[in-house]
Amino acid sequence: MNSLQGVSDRENYFVSLNRAEAIDPRRILRTLAYDHPLFDLAALRAQPHLPRLNALAADTTRTFFAGSYFRYGFHEDALLSAVQLSTQLLGCDPWAQFAVAEPEAAAAPLVAVA
């Protein structure tokens, strides 16, 4: 958590999702219960229609949707839906301006001979 959240530069903090019994209970600061969404068949059938809601909103409500429910329920799915919505709203890749040029390939490969 130190690198990810910048919580401390003096003490190391970790998050564990598995094997809680392997951790000394005196070292546990907080225990939280998390659930992942479980999609039923109706939700899975609705997912392909979610982008259409955003397309319709552009000319009507101006209320847009993004979230993990656009795919499998993971954080990465939420990010992907946000990027897709940003692309729709901006009309271009939202990160295109930050693209880094690939380094040029060496003219000839280096070969080591023993």
pLDDT at res. 110: 52
10-residue averages of pLDDT along the chain (114 residues): 75 81 88 83 93 91 92 91 93 83 59 53
pTM, two decimal places = 0.58
Determine the Cα–Cα distance for residues 3 and 78; give it in Å rounded to an integer. Answer: 22
Q: Name the amino acid, one letter, at 90.
A: L
8 A C-beta contact, residue 54 and residue 85? yes
